[in-house]
Structure 1
Amino acid sequence: MSRAKYLPTEERRNEAVEAVIELAAARNPEDITTTAIAGRMKLSQGALFRHFPTKDAIWCQVMEWVSNRLLERVDKVAGAEADPVDALEAMFLTHVKFVAERPGVPRILMGQLQRNGATAAKQVAQTLMRNYATRLHRILSAARASGAVSAKLDESAAATLFLGMIQGLVVQAQISGDYAKMCAEAPRVFAIYRAGITRGSPGKEKTE
């Protein structure tokens, strides 16, 4: 018998998350069945449902995993930077790398946000977006207070643009299938963003 059959519940649930993310990288998340998930894990459907009462519970677990991992990573790198604009850059590059390593994540996130009704997974996705935006606003506010960016900076627009740049890189990677390229382009994209938000600030724009 396979040793994998005796994995603890938490490990098995994380394995299911990884299976869903891997499957979503190659197909529409809405088309992923519990049969496909169980097959990816080399389990029967019955064994899968011993860890998840419903398919929606699987999607909720996936969204909670994505939310926790992504926020943990961006918080860690942003907290290590004394300069708020450097913190934004660290967040940006880390987020892009997170997606490049898991192409299924943006497909799953957008799929959940577009679902009708208030599912548990959709609520987790919405909370993730709110929490991420809160972090951006907090850092941008600190940047204005310190003079690191222009005093006239529109923080809301700057936060929207930050997320839009990531989404743009993701869409291009999905079209080309080249996720390594988005990591290579991310520093150049952020350099343009940095120049825009720091123009007119008392501090000096970062030179490359």
Structure 2
Amino acid sequence: MTTRTRQKNLPAEERRNVTVEAVIELAASTNPGDITTAAIAKHMHLTQGALFRHFPNKEAIWQAVMQWVAKRLIARIDKAAEGLDTPLDAMQAMFLAHVAFVSEHPGAPRMLFGELQGMKQTPAKRLAREMMKQYGARLNRHIEAGKARGELAEDLDSQAAATLFIGTIQGLVMQSLMSGDMEKMRADAPRVFAIYQRGIASAENGE
């Protein structure tokens, strides 16, 4: 059976997931704003008509992409942090898991950045913002727990620390996207987190 035949025989839900993955693959090397439904269909060896049997329009595809990214990234960081001994251990695991996710799916942050920078209030943009809100809430819980345990500085601004955590990852991502070397980001991540950790740790736990 050829790849094209397998594509045509996929169940509807699997077809939608394959479409989302195709968009993320395209976004790794193409400006997301320039990705058309024709380009998606061509990448998948389908007609646009076949694509629109599963999505009513391009906006629905973008919404599905953001749902895919949000679900998998949040699940990845939750699993990484689960069962660890200290809040700071959990934060480090989340940091490294997030970097690993982006390294595996470089089109995902390009899609996310594209949506958040756009002026239009789309369903995809609302999903992206909700994901960032959920992410920040998780970080805030770990930071507050770390302060309560004396692991993090008592006077630490939790909101600023969460913002810096996410911003540090975004900086790594942007540098990797510009250089085209996603593996360097994974190699740099432990050293970068160590610097972040020294900035938020209590005096007793700082290096």
> Into which bin does the TM-score normalised by the smaller protein fall?
over 0.9
Question: What residue in structure 1 maps to residue 93 of structure 2?
Answer: 90
Counterpart CA distance in 1 for 2:120 and 2:176 is 30
Counterpart CA distance in 1 for 2:17 and 2:83 is 28
Say yes or no: does 1:11 pair with 2:14: yes
C-alpha deviation, 1:195, in angstroms:
1.4
1:69 maps to which of 68, 72, 88: 72
Counterpart CA distance in 1 for 2:83 and 2:72 is 17
Query: Is the contact made by 2:154 and 2:202 (CA closer than 8 Å) also made in structure 1?
Result: no
1:55 maps to which of 48, 58, 63: 58
Structure 1 segments unaligned to the other structure (5+ residues): none
| Identity level (%) | 57
C-alpha deviation, 1:164, in angstroms:
1.2
Question: What residue in structure 1 maps to residue 143 of structure 2?
Answer: 140
Counterpart CA distance in 2 for 1:39 and 1:13 is 15
CA displacement, residues 29-72 of structure 1 (integer Å, 9 cap, x when unaligned) = 00000011111111110000000011100000000000000000
Counterpart CA distance in 1 for 2:165 and 2:118 is 24
Counterpart CA distance in 1 for 2:6 and 2:112 is 32
CA displacement, residues 91-135 of structure 1 (integer Å, 9 cap, x when unaligned) = 000000101111111110011112223211111011011111111
**TM-score normalised to structure 2 length:** 0.95
Question: What residue in structure 1 maps to residue 103 of structure 2?
Answer: 100
Question: What residue in structure 2 maps to residue 124 of structure 1?
Answer: 127
Counterpart CA distance in 2 for 1:3 and 1:17 is 17
Counterpart CA distance in 2 for 1:165 and 1:61 is 27
Question: What residue in structure 2 maps to residue 21 of structure 1?
Answer: 24
SS of alignment partner, residue 151 of structure 2: coil
C-alpha deviation, 1:80, in angstroms:
2.6
Question: What residue in structure 2 maps to residue 195 of structure 1?
Answer: 198
Structure 2 segments unaligned to the other structure (5+ residues): none
CA displacement, residues 71-93 of structure 1 (integer Å, 9 cap, x when unaligned) = 00101111231200000000000
C-alpha deviation, 1:6, in angstroms:
1.1
**TM-score normalised to structure 1 length:** 0.95
Paired residue type of 2:49: G
Paired residue type of 2:94: M
Counterpart CA distance in 1 for 2:124 and 2:7 is 27
SS of alignment partner, residue 158 of structure 1: helix
Question: What residue in structure 2 maps to residue 37 of structure 1?
Answer: 40
Question: What residue in structure 2 maps to residue 160 of structure 1?
Answer: 163
Counterpart CA distance in 2 for 1:85 and 1:193 is 11
